[in-house]
Structure formats: C-alpha cells, structure tokens
Chains A and B, each alone.
Chain A
Amino acid sequence: MHTSNIKFRGGLNKAIVMCSSIVVGIVGLLPSSAQALPAFARQTGQNCVACHAGGQFPELTPYGRMFKLTGYTIGERTVPLSVMGVVSYAKVANTSKSDNPPADFQKNGAPLFATGSVFIAGKVTDNIGVFSQTTYDNYASQSGNGVFHGHMQADNMDFRYADRLINEKRDVIFGFSLNNNPSITDPWNSAAAWMQYVPVPSPTSHQFIDGTAPYPGFGSGGNLAGVSAYMFWNKLVYAEFGTYRTANQGFSFMSAGINDASTTKLQGANNPYWRLALSHEWGPHNLMVGTSGMIAHVYDVGTDISDPNNLGRFKNAGIDAQYQYLLDPHTVTAQLAYMRQKQDHSANALAAGSPYFLADGITPVTPVNASDTSNILRAKLSYIYQAKYGGSLSFFNSTGTTNTLNQSSGYDSNGQITSLDPLGTGISSTRVTGNLSGNPATRGLTYEAFWMPVQYARVGVQYTAYSKFNGASNNYDGLGRNARDNNTLFLYVWGAY
C-alpha cells in the first residue's frame, strides 16, 4: 500500500508536469485574439462561448442550437478543418485484485497521448453544412503480448440540408441529415449521443473512468448509416424521425476504419429513430423536456448475417430534460436522462447459452430470459464561472433483469470461479470486468473540476466512485473484486484548433 502510494504520487507528479507543459505550450502557441479558432468559430468569427454553454464542449447554448439546426450554415465559408487532441492520465483505486495487473491496468498512473481527432466541419452552401469527425485512438487495440496499437476510424458524422421559413408570425426550421449515430443530430446535450463526459480515452487503465460508465443510449450503438428529417417550430417543438441501416457499401465511409467483422450489422433499413422535444426560453433561462426512442434489428457482432438466428433486437425509449441558466459570468446546467431498453437476444445466442456451470461444476447454466430489460439513469449538474473555471457532479444508476447469458464470470467444470471462458468458445473477459450475477446493476458518482486557460484548451480532473458494479457492491466477479476497487482518478488536457 505504502509503495503504491509513492508510485501514485510519482506518476501524478509526472502527469502534472506533463499536463502543465502542454498547457503552457498551447497557451504560448495560440494567439489570444479571436482570429484563430476551430473551424466553426472561424466561420462565424465568434468565440466558442457563443455556441457552447460556458465554453464547455459539447454543450450548446440556445444560439448554438440554432447554428446546428440551420445546418451549420451561419457565417461565411472558410477552411473547414479542425483538429483536437487529448493527453490523459488515470489511476484505478485497486489494481491488485486482477489475474494479470499489467494487462488489466496497463498505463495505470502513466501520462499518455490518448486520442486525436480531425474534423471537417462547416458551411458548404447556404443550405448545406457538415460536421464530420475522424478519430485516432492511440490505444485502440492490444495484441497478445500486451502491446497497444493505434488506429484511426470514422467517428461522429452529420451531413445536413436545412432551411428556415421565418417571419413575424412563424419560425420553422426544417432539414434532413445523413448521419452515422442516432441522436448525433440532436441540439440538446442530454441526448444519448452528447451527454457523455468527453474525452474518453481507451487504455485498460481507463476502463472505469466516467466515459465508460453507464449512459442512457441506444442499443444499436454508432457507426451506422441513417437519414433523418427534422423540424423546429417556433423554438417550441422539435421533432425528428429517421431510420438506420448498416454503414457498408456506399455508406462504408461512415464506419471507415472498422473491420467488417466488427462493424455493427443491422437488418435492412427499417430501424427507426424518433425524437420529440419541447423547449422554452425565458430571461436567462431555458428548458427542454423531451423523449426519444429507437428500434434496431442487430446481428450479433461478427456473425453470419445470412442466418436469421443471429438476429437480435433492441427497443429503446427514453425521456430527457435540460435546464440552462446563462448570464455572464455564470453558466448553470442541469441534465437528466433516462433510457429503458428491451433486448431480445438472438436465437443462436440463446442456444449457445452461457459457458459457465452451476457451483456443482456439472450442471451447465442455461439462459433464464429470452430478452432482458435495462434502465439507465443519468443526472448531471454543472457550474462554470467566466467560461474558465467549472465543476460538475454526475450520478449514474443502471439496473436491469438478471440473466445468466450476461455472465462473464462463473464456475468452471471444477466448481472453481473463473473469469476466463471455461469452454474456450472465445468469449473474452477479464476478472476485473467479470460479471458473476448476470445482472447489469452499476451505480456511482462522478465529480469533475476543470479549467479553461484559453477557450480551446481544457484541463480537467475527474473522479468516479462506484457503489455498485456488474450487479453487486462486493465481490461482483466472484473473485473478490468490489465496486469501489474500480474508483478512478482521471486527469486530462484537451486542446483543439
């Protein structure tokens, strides 16, 4: 314990020195005038705070929402390129309860260059605009010997056509979007695609940071291909309807960089997404209350899509709300999102069942449900002063049905608990993420404080504390790991240009 503390401090000091140098570097390199900003800011000539609440990305102000809904077309055409990068550091509370700590917590306590993105973003014509992100993950995959490999792939993409019919009597914004992520089109930050704390780096030591904790989202995930039509009427009612399909053939650029086996495969193009929201502004306040949902027919990852028995289905329905108080120098935001999901497992997944046994080591466990229901709640409160100093508190609670099919830890044929797949069928699990109960319940709190020395750089410190993980507070993997062992300190420096 003592040694670990010393190591912790050493690593932290290094991280702080590194982070500080980077901030100084960024501050020194970038001019302080309003001329040199990321793509959208160059297009409108405005500062980040015009569109982002308190300068806090990606949350939008009422004006930022109008900028997005009118298809990113306000302003004048400019070079539509931006880049961003993240340097991060994470420290997990307990790394000892692991079969292979160097693999499970590689880069723990080590500062690293985590991810970088390139954006093509901006106005194309008076009615067409683009927001397209491609991300390089420096730690995308890990080979057998534990070495990480970097990888670049398509991230969020939104190509829009929008028009606005406005006069003294009515204001109708309407448009169409070709995009790769359900709800990426949404202008409110409590939508599934946007509520997440960013950034979210991927090394194994970062697997318990908030960005990996439960968020209300759609079972289908992203990197799909979809079209949606939307309308915002009198700044009061927002409605959107779309449908998604696999991002292959002509749409493969929307899942570029993801190999075919890992690409999410949807059945046909009848995978509808819908969104309805009511919005109101008064004085410095604004409020949105909304609902959204999706039905997605998804093939099990990496399986043969000509076999209908590999097809499962996700039905999502959620409600969300966002309140903002924006009056210089204060920014207050409260967000609430709740998503209910019903997952119908594929026939083959049910037939394959679980590789584990009952405690007798003889009787194989069989799936208890053909479908599972889960409920995820997120609540977040944040405050920013002078668009420079900010903090937030976030609560997450995931509950759901118990199903042996969801176990990733259990008894082997010797009656011993293992997190490895006892049948060797290829299910990969490690002890630290093992789930003995087959229940998804995970609950915790995340605290964040951040500082934005200049408008396109942010330094943040985040702490995520779990009171429940994979269905239990204690011994969730059957091998002695407790939820609080996953508590994680996370530091990052984020910069964009």
Chain B
Amino acid sequence: MKTAAFVGMGLALLGVAGCANTERSRNLNDPNVPAKVMAQQVCSNCHGIDGNSTSPNFPKLAGQQEAYFIAQLKGFRSHGRYDPEGFEYMWGISRSLTDEQIKGLAAYFAQQTPAPNPPVHTERISAGKEIFEKGVPSQNVPACAVCHGAQGQGNATFPRIADQHADYIIKQLQVFQRTEERPEGAVMKQITHSLTDENMQAVAAYLNSMPVPAK
C-alpha cells in the first residue's frame, strides 16, 4: 500500500463524520439526541439495553417507576444525591440532560421487562420474605410491602425493588442507614435504623429472587 492510500484512509476517517449524528450519538450535551438513542448508546453500557444490568454494581432499571427514576436522575444532576457510586458514575452522565430527555429515559426503562436473576443465598430467602411482608416488629421495622407494593413493584416515587440485584439492595440500605447521602430517601433512614446486616442480606436475597410481577 502506498503513502497516498494511507493518507486517503486517514482523510476518509475524518471525512465520514464531520457532522453530528443524533440517530446514533453518544453526546450527553445535545438536547436533540432522543432518549431512546441515549439509552441504547450510553445507558446500556452499564444498565443493559433492556434495563437488565449484568453487574450488581449497577441497578436494574427494567420496569422501574417513572416518578422514582426521574427523581433520581434529577437528584444526580443537581448533586442532591451524593452516594459514592452516584457521584462517581452518574453526576457526569446526567449533568447536561434536559428534563425532556430524563422523562424519555424514564419512559424507556419503565417499558422494559425485568428478567429473573441468578439466585443468591437461597437459604436466606424465607427470612427475607418475612421481613418484606411483615417487617421486624421487635426492631420497629415496617414491612417493605407497605410502600413498595405487595409484589415489590413500587409506586410513583417508591421504587420498584422486585428482582433488583441483592448487592445493590444491600449497598443502598447501608447508604440509607449510615449516611445522609440520599436525602430524597430520608424516610428510609428511620426504617433502616435498626436493620442488622443479617436482615439486609436476607431481604436482599428475597428481592433478588422475587418472581416478576405482571405490569
């Protein structure tokens, strides 16, 4: 191959994409990029194209309540939510999103179907079910189902927690219990106040294993 061919290829690389391409853009500061494109080109890297993330470092977003989703993204954007994973990953991603894009992302992920998880700590599931359905009266812990729904499907700003990764649930329970980093979830501080590590692991194992409720 001659020099000219090499230079030609180099120029071709620069030439093919001189302009913005909102249909397949990964630009997080372009209000013209549709929410669906953003979800597929960017969010899917960690959360999965259908909102079923592979790694428990990242929450599953499939079937998530739109109101909760919107509140979280706005919380990241305004730096109101500042748990470490929140600011390490999400502050930057959300910083230039428009309200319209956030709304569109919420709708996109709410429409996705949650997929079942591989089981974890199955021996803890029955204890977790007990906490989810009845709480821990001796520790003044109310039942999760009261706010999050009998099937863990959530309701408006109360998130869907069914089928969530166990490791993610435990981490968030610890954030609520031990920090002020999620002020929008202040109600959870009181609720998680007397949860033991064992309680958290049990309820997380149960949520991780919950059957997918009908939408």
Which residues of A does B touch, CB under 8 Å?
A: 34, 41, 44-47, 49-50, 62-63, 66-67, 70, 73-77, 123, 125-128, 159-161, 163-168, 171, 176, 178, 225, 227, 243, 245, 249-251, 268-270, 281-284, 326-328
Contact = CB atoms under 8 A, between A and B. Distances in A.
B92 interface: yes
Contact of B85 (A166, A178, A225, A328): A328
14 contacts: A50-B88, A76-B96, A126-B27, A127-B17, A127-B21, A161-B13, A166-B40, A176-B13, A243-B1, A249-B3, A269-B2, A281-B55, A327-B56, A328-B85
| A-B pairs, 8 with minimum CB distance | A45-B92, A76-B29, A127-B17, A269-B1, A47-B88, A46-B92, A161-B13, A66-B45
B94 to A, nearest CB: 8
Contact of B6 (A41, A74, A126, A269): A269
Given A75-B26, A159-B13, A250-B7, A47 B19 contact: no
A45 B1 contact: no
Contacts of B157: none
B150 interface: no
Contact of B28 (A49, A62, A75, A250): A75
B55 A326 contact: yes
Interface of B: 1-3, 5-7, 9-10, 13-14, 16-22, 24-29, 40-42, 44-46, 49-50, 54-57, 84-85, 87-89, 91-93, 95-96, 118, 167, 171
B6 A225 contact: yes
Contacts of B40: 166-167
A422 B103 CA distance: 78
A293 B26 CA distance: 32
A163 B24 contact: yes
A250 B3 contact: yes
A422 B26 CA distance: 62
Contacts of B96: 76
A34 B118 contact: no
B88 A245 contact: no
Given A44-B93, A47-B87, A74 B13 contact: no
B21 to A, nearest CB: 5
A164 B171 contact: no
B148 to A, nearest CB: 24
Nearest to B14: A128
A251 B6 contact: yes
Given A34-B91, A227-B6, A283 B55 contact: yes
B26 A245 contact: no
A178 B13 contact: yes
A458 B26 CA distance: 31
A125 B56 contact: no
B102 to A, nearest CB: 15
B89 A46 contact: yes
Contacts of A77: 27, 29
Given A159-B13, A284-B167, A328-B57, A34 B24 contact: no
Given A166-B41, A283-B54, 5 more contacts: A46-B92, A250-B10, A269-B6, A281-B55, A284-B55
B120 to A, nearest CB: 9
Contacts of A44: 28, 92-93
Contacts of B92: 34, 41, 44-46, 75
A166 B57 contact: no
A168 B113 CA distance: 12
B49 A171 contact: yes
A245 B14 CA distance: 20
Given A74-B26, A269-B6, A50 B89 contact: yes
A159 B6 CA distance: 14
A32 to B, nearest CB: 11
A376 to B, nearest CB: 30
A47 to B, nearest CB: 4
A46 B93 contact: yes
Contact of A45 (B3, B20, B44, B93): B93
Nearest to A47: B88
A208 B89 CA distance: 39
A164 B40 CA distance: 10
Contacts of B42: 74
A282 B18 CA distance: 37
B45 A328 contact: no
B26 A327 contact: no
Given A44-B92, A63-B45, A75-B28, A268 B14 contact: no
Contacts of B26: 70, 73-75, 126, 164
A76 B27 contact: yes
Nearest to A455: B88
Contacts of A176: 9, 13
A139 to B, nearest CB: 34
